[in-house]
Chains A and B, each alone.
Chain A
Amino acid sequence: MTDVEYIRAFRADNQAVITRFYNEYRSVFVRDIGKFYHILNTELMAEIYQETVIRVWRNIATDKLTEQNLTTSLAGYLFSVGKYVAQEKFREANREPLTDNEETGLRAAAPLWEEETEQEKAVRKAVYAMGEPCAPLLLHFYWDKMSWEAIAQQLHYKDAESAKTQKYKCMQKLKGYFSHANVI
């Protein structure tokens, strides 16, 4: 697949293609980034790789990375972001602040990278903490792109309307959480 095809598939949350991309670059990423940073721990490397792929996906999903502004290969971009993620993991582990030069170097290594807003961080935290019944419902709708009929059947709702009503309640609950927290 070409880089353009991958970017379009990422934007559309094409799970089969994203999985293919993940497997295509996994072993060389783990080997090269692992060698570069002397990381022998395979679980840590897997964590770094997953986080890297997620960040690449996020940049595509938010149009920070597009077919037009990709200046290297997508694999090259993946590795740039991977180095940034690996550095972040070290920074978290060592709990030392970066110097200005290190910060500049990291940003150069991960083009098109912007820090998340406080709202984005808070939203992620709330969404990851979600349980039943909201998590499976919202995941089926937004990530799996299932129809309401399919969602109702999968999650044993009376009908599609009942599922839609529950979705509305879940979204209101999430929005209400942020209103109370005065995040927005």
Chain B
Amino acid sequence: MELEQDIELAIRERGLREMLVREEARVRQAVHRRTVRRWALGGSGTLAVAAILVLAVILVPTIKTMHQYSTQYVASIETEAFRGGDEMSMKLCEAMVKMKRGQWVEAERIADTLLEQTADSEDEEDIDIRQSAEWIKALCLMHNGKIFSARKLLKRIAAGDSYYSPLAEELLR
């Protein structure tokens, strides 16, 4: 009887171990996707956040308008990193491609859709998408001359705890 109990326990433990290994792989993949997404939207896969801040500090005084900033920022975005991602990542990619092609109104529309879709979600992936979509919307507002709306959104981004908060803070300064 004791042997049978030991066997049952070992089988259940094996099931647990296999489940945790799968879960760990899933978590790492999600972390990797978030990191790739952030680096792509951040303008370079090799720049550290500090380097991006330095770039922002150098860029901001020399750029005369938010319009110029958004144009130059978008020029450095990599869209390749999003290929083959999930549906919402692909939508982010689509928004960025639109911005690169000068289709800022359409890009803002896509960002609004993503913001609606992720509005009340507490899922980590959705939060990440929402933060990226907010940043895209901010760039679009700046480019389209909606300065007051852009400033309002940048203040919200700066007050949050996202990857883009330091960038928004620098722009507001």
Residues of A within 8 A of B (CB): 13, 15, 18-19, 22-23, 26, 46, 50, 53-54, 57-58, 61-62, 119-120, 123-124, 126-128, 135, 138-139, 142-144, 171, 174-175, 178, 184
Contact = CB atoms under 8 A, between A and B. Distances in A.
Interface string B37-52: 0000000000000000
Interface string B1-20: 01110111111111111111
Interface residues of B, number: 23
Given A19-B19, A46-B24, A128-B14, A171 B4 contact: yes
Contact of A142 (B8, B17, B23): B8
Contacts of A58: 9, 13
B21 interface: yes
Contacts of B9: 58, 61-62, 120, 123
Tell me whether chain B's interface is mostly helix, strand or loop, or mixed. helix
Given A58-B13, A123-B10, 11 more contacts: A13-B12, A15-B19, A22-B20, A22-B23, A53-B20, A120-B6, A124-B10, A124-B13, A127-B11, A139-B18, A184-B3
Nearest to A174: B7
A157 to B, nearest CB: 18
B55 interface: no
A15 B19 CA distance: 8
A176 to B, nearest CB: 11
Tell me whether chain A's interface is mostly helix, strand or loop, or mixed. helix
Contacts of B59: none
Contacts of A26: 27
Contacts of A143: 11-12, 14-16
A179 to B, nearest CB: 9
A124 B4 CA distance: 12
Given A19-B23, A46-B24, A127 B7 contact: yes
A126 B7 CA distance: 9
A50 B3 contact: no
Contacts of B23: 19, 22-23
